[in-house]
Structure 1
Amino acid sequence: MRIEATELVDVVVLIPEPFRDERGLFTRTFDATEFDTHLGKPGASAAFVQDSQSRSVRGVIRGMHGRGGRGEAKLVRCARGTVHDVLVDIRPDSPTFGKQQAFTLDDETFTHLYVPPGFLHGFQAITDVADVCYRIDRPHDPTEDIGVAYNDPDLAIEWPLPVTIVSPRDASAASYADLRTKLGGTG
């Protein structure tokens, strides 16, 4: 497994290296020792306490979601299909505050994203069906949910496909300008 830095401070990509043969493949999708070593935080992997999975059809957007309070670290991967995954740094003191980066997650490369606390996260299903798995470091608390509209003009996220379905919650999410005001940042 390789672990690589991204353009966003503290976000890393975990890239499994599958063994393929005539039977198919085998891959290690997570290695706690390598993860902890790369982050320089012994035991960081032990903080993950909840796994969840979503299934989306082509064109669906889920996001942009974040979490207040202490935030939430998560490890995200696409177990089936392909998604266009987008992160936005909403940490006011971060050198990459307000910056975004997109990633392709799929069931061919098994790439994972480590998303530290303080990011908005969302994705669009690119294939007919996409299953996304999330491993988070705190039990979900809906009272701490943060949302920004997936089509917010200040974010100007370039989604690769026409949008087919968005939840009512995501369709009525707040603006990025309002969130910046609450956070006290200028990005």
Structure 2
Amino acid sequence: MRVERTGLDGVLLFVPTPHRDDRGLFTRTFDAALAAEHGLDPAAFIQDSQSRSRLGTIRGMHGRSGRGEAKLVRCARGAVHDVLVDLRPGSPTFGRSQAITLDDATFITLYVPPGFLHGFQALTEQTDVCYRIDREHDPSEDLAVRYDDPDLKIDWPLPATAISSRDLSAGTWAQLLDRLT
């Protein structure tokens, strides 16, 4: 497994090397020692969650106020167009977004540090996304920006087929910036 930096400050990709043979494959999806080498505390990730989405579904753009939350995100089945937006005012990449494809062929795990909006669109008929999160969920800290906010300029690859009512009623990037300052 190797670790790659992305165009957003602090965001990492953990890229495994799947071993394939006539039975199928085997791959490591997490390595505590490697995570620690790159400044992460493996024991800090206290909650694992999984979502299942159908083709075209968009989930996001979500974040947390306060200390935020760090997460490790991977696609266990299918593929997603995963999007991050840096909402840390002092960051050199503040306001920038980046899209990464996560899928069940490469098994890449995305490390998202605290202070980011995160969302994804399912690119396959059945998509399972797994999250390892470093904090318990506190609904009072939830942040959300509409997936199609014109200021974010997110280029979703497919027409949206399903979006939660919560995500449809999310505020704008400008409203979130006012709330954070």
TM range (shorter): over 0.9
> Gaps spanning 5+ residues in structure 2: where?
none
> Gaps spanning 5+ residues in structure 1: where?
none
1:115 is aligned with what amino acid?
A: V
Residue 85 (structure 1) aligned with residue 82 (structure 2): yes
Q: Which residue of 2 aligns with 1:127?
A: 124
Q: Which residue of 1 aligns with 2:148?
A: 151
Q: 1:71 aligns with which of 45, 68, 71?
A: 68
How far is 1:131 from its partner?
0.3
Q: Distance in 2 between matches of 1:38 and 1:111?
A: 16
Residue 179 (structure 1) aligned with residue 176 (structure 2): yes
Q: Which residue of 1 aligns with 2:136?
A: 139
Q: Which residue of 2 aligns with 1:14?
A: 14
2:7 is aligned with what amino acid?
A: E
Q: Which residue of 1 aligns with 2:23?
A: 23
How far is 1:14 from its partner?
0.6
Structure 1-normalised TM-score?
0.95
Q: Distance in 2 between matches of 1:166 and 1:26?
A: 34
Structure 2-normalised TM-score?
0.98
Identity of aligned residues (%): 67
Q: Distance in 2 between matches of 1:171 and 1:135?
A: 25
How far is 1:156 from its partner?
1.1
Q: Distance in 1 between matches of 2:116 and 2:23?
A: 39
Q: Which residue of 1 aligns with 2:59?
A: 62
SS of residue paired to 2:38: helix
Q: Count how many residue pairs are aligned between Structure 1 and Structure 2.
A: 181
How far is 1:182 from its partner?
1.9
2:3 is aligned with what amino acid?
A: I
SS of residue paired to 1:36: helix
How far is 1:69 from its partner?
1.0
Q: 2:113 aligns with which of 113, 116, 130?
A: 116
Q: Which residue of 2 aligns with 1:35?
A: 35
Q: Distance in 2 between matches of 1:20 and 1:38?
A: 27
Give the RMSD, CA atoms, in angstroms. 0.7
Q: Distance in 2 between matches of 1:38 and 1:51?
A: 21
SS of residue paired to 1:8: coil
Q: Distance in 2 between matches of 1:35 and 1:109?
A: 18
SS of residue paired to 1:134: strand
How far is 1:116 from its partner?
0.4
How far is 1:183 from its partner?
1.9
